[in-house]
Amino acid sequence: MLVDMNNVGVKHSFIGHLHTPDAKKRLSGPDYDVRQTTGAFGFRNAGPWPDHADVVILGDSLVFGYGVSDGSAWPAIVDRSFPKLEVLNLGLVGAGAEQYLRVYETFGAPLHPKLVIVGMFPGNDFWDAGQFQEWVREGSKGNYMVWRNYGHFSGSLLGQPAQALKSVLLRRSYLYNLVVAAHSNHEAKRAGEPKILTLKNGQEMRLLPSDFESRTEGSRAGRPEFQLTVRALTELRDRVEKTGGQMLVVLQPSKEEIYLPMLGEKVRDPARELRPALRQLGIEYLDLAPAFKREANLGKALFFGADGHPNQAGYRLIAEQVVQYLAERISSAKSTSALGRVSWPPVQPALWISERRHSRARRGGAE
């Protein structure tokens, strides 16, 4: 009853949707009840929009920091870890790779970042690619998230009465949503789900293998969703490098990938064919699955119990791995740049650290 069913942001004809700008909204679920704050253009950054950025981070709800407070989103932790860098969070809930590209073209490229980090979530990014492509084929009408979450309806009431009625009920009726949720829960139980894993501390992990399988069908190289994703990442890489920047893909694992094997379940690796594709394209990536599996095997809860997003510990682990990776690259550049053997970062570290610190000060983020 605390959920704001109309929290779907604003429409954007090119990107599909954006979060409501300059807003403070309540996000509630079975695992959390937090306030999420958005700044200019609806992204989760404090203060005025900067003139320049050293690091731009693209992604979906995992980059946005869904389910945790503003300061616990992993881009915010990365930002605090490099106080001399301007780090901008361009995470967009519900987005896929094509939208990451479009967000970069619209908001990231004008800031001329030295590094673009793409937070990929193979657990549903391929599915998102297919959904967005379908929305584009239908004419890119209305708010993409309304279309996606509320019955694929963006037409007229007369032309699509059944879809229109379903969309209105889903957005307006708590009773209808309760019935839908109860039906979904009943069907899941009939299918033997959810699978419940109890951790050492007594916390339960609710896992949905069939949902995970359906959301990762497009992760196979022959699927159109896979091709759409790789094409978008390739174009994004080309655009970033054309302006002298570098791109890093961060592969964020799903809850099912990490915890289902602990129940003896076989689980698809949705990044299995993406990793060699990235290597072939020369796109640098950081795979976080090993770190998550290591921590999970110690009995740590890295995701919410019911919700599929990382919890505060999970987001912190993502940030720690990214910070360590970047710190090692910067250190390597400092020690070997004189010998000309460094391919990343492509410039001297002193130049990689922005001289435009006044923009951070204007945002109120000086440290």
Q: What is the pLDDT of residue 348?
A: 34
Q: What is the pLDDT of residue 334?
A: 62
Q: What is the pLDDT of residue 247?
A: 97
pLDDT single digits (tens) 143-202:
999 899 887 766 566 667 777 777 777 777 888 778 877 777 766 676 678 999 999 999
Q: What is the pLDDT of residue 165?
A: 76
Tokens representing 104 are 């970069």
Going by C-alpha positions, the residue among 60, 67, 75 that lies closest to residue 27 is: 67
Mean pLDDT of the chain: 87
Per residue, the 3-state secondary structure of the chain, as one string, reads CCCCCCCCCEEECCCEEECCCCCEEEEECCCCEEEEECCHHHCCCCCCCCCCCCEEEEECHHHHCCCCCHHHCHHHHHHHHCCCCCEEEEECCCCCHHHHHHHHHHHHHHHCCCEEEEEECCCCHHHHHHHHHHHHHCCCCCCHHHHHHCCCCCCCCCCCHHHHHHHHHHHHCHHHHHHHHHHHHHHHHHCCCCEEEECCCCCEEEECHHHHHHHCHHHCCCCHHHHHHHHHHHHHHHHHHHCCCEEEEEECCCHHHHHHHHHCCCCCCCCCCHHHHHHHHCCEEEECHHHHHHHHHCCCCCECCCCCCECHHHHHHHHHHHHHHHHHHHHHHHHHHHHCCCCCCCCCHHHHCCCCCHHHHHHCCCC
Q: What is the CATH number of the domain that holds 211?
A: 3.40.50.1110
In this structure, is residue 150 part of a structural domain? no
In this structure, is residue 173 part of a structural domain? no
**Residues spanned by the domain of 323:** 10-141+198-363
Q: How far is CA 167 from CA 20, 146, 172, 174, 329, in A?
A: 20, 8, 9, 13, 48
* Torsion angle, alpha carbons of 8, 132, 148, 40, to 10: 0
In this structure, is residue 229 part of a structural domain? yes
In this structure, is residue 187 part of a structural domain? no
Compute the average pLDDT of residues 224-240. Answer: 98
Going by C-alpha positions, the residue among 326, 330, 251, 245 that lies closest to residue 54 is: 245
Q: What is the pLDDT of residue 18?
A: 98
Number of domains comprising the chain: 1
Q: What is the pLDDT of residue 333?
A: 65
Least confident of 51-60, 62-71, 166-175, 263-272: 166-175
CB neighbour list of residue 335: distance below 8 Å, 6 or more residues apart: none
Compute the average pLDDT of residues 39-46. Answer: 95
| pLDDT band at 45; cut points 50, 70, 90 | very high
Compute the average pLDDT of residues 213-228. Answer: 97
In this structure, is residue 147 part of a structural domain? no
Q: What is the pLDDT of residue 237?
A: 98
Q: What is the pLDDT of residue 153?
A: 67
Q: In b/e form, how buried is each residue of 241-253, taking b as 16+ CB within 10 angstroms?
A: eeeebbbbbbbbb
CA dist 259 and 124 (Å) reads 17
Q: What is the pLDDT of residue 320?
A: 98
Q: How far is CA 223 from CA 229, 320, 323, in A?
A: 10, 33, 33
Q: What is the pLDDT of residue 161?
A: 78
In this structure, is residue 2 part of a structural domain? no
In this structure, is residue 244 part of a structural domain? yes
Percent over 90 (pLDDT), the chain = 71
| pLDDT band at 337; cut points 50, 70, 90 | very low
Q: Rounded to an integer, what is the distance from CA 287 to the centroid of its chain?
A: 14
| pLDDT band at 346; cut points 50, 70, 90 | very low
In this structure, is residue 164 part of a structural domain? no
Q: Are 67 and 32 in contact (CB under 8 A)?
A: yes
Angle subtended by helix axes 224-242 and 125-137, to nearest 10:
90
Q: Are 125 and 97 in contact (CB under 8 A)?
A: yes
> For residue 329, with 0-12 CB atoms within 10 Å meaning exposed, 13-18 middle and 19 or more buried, which class applies?
buried
